[in-house]
Each structure stands twice: as structure tokens, then as C-alpha cells.
Amino acid sequence: MDPKCIEDTLISEVASILSQEPTEIAPDAPLHTLGLDSLGFVELLVFIEKTFGLALMELGLSREDFQTIRSLAACIHRLQE
């Protein structure tokens, strides 16, 4: 899956978690400014693990990987290669 498709998938899920329209979610906005609380963030992590088949806790991801949806999509793409 290319980074843009991953990004779109993440935007759709974040929008669902936040009960917003996907068009309201900017891929380059810092994740902490989107309104995700700790439960929403956990929902997103579980979604990523299930959708992309990644065990995030075992991958040693950095804080930078989770800065924005775009950086997260790039990280997921890199891990799937």
C-alpha cells in the first residue's frame, strides 16, 4: 500500500474516532491538536495493528513517527516494505 493510501486510511479512521468528516482532518496537523484523547489514541493504535498487521509495541517507534498522520503513514509504509 502506498503512503497516500495509508494516509487516507488513517484520516478516515481518525475522523471516525472523532466523529468528524475526513475533510476536516489535516494530514500534516500535529496529532495532539486533532482532539484525540488517550482512549482515541489507543483506538487508533489498535486499528493500525489490525489493519496493517503491525505489532507497534515491538517496533521501537519514536515520538516523531506519531507527530502527524502523514509521518505515521510514512512510518507504516516503511515498516511494510
Kindly state the cell numbers that stand for 24: 476536516
CATH 1.10.1200.10 fits 3-80, yes or no: yes
pLDDT of the residue at 26: 96
**Binning pLDDT at 50, 70 and 90, where does residue 81 land?**
confident
Report the percentage of the chain scoring pLDDT > 90.
69
Give per-residue pLDDT as tens, 20-40.
Answer: 999 999 999 998 899 989 999
Domain range summary for the chain, segments of one domain joined by + = 3-80
Predicted TM-score (pTM) of the model is 0.91
Q: Is the pLDDT of residue 66 over 80?
A: yes
Kindly state the cell numbers that stand for 40: 482515541
C-alpha 17/C-alpha 35 separation (Å) is 10
pLDDT of the residue at 14: 97
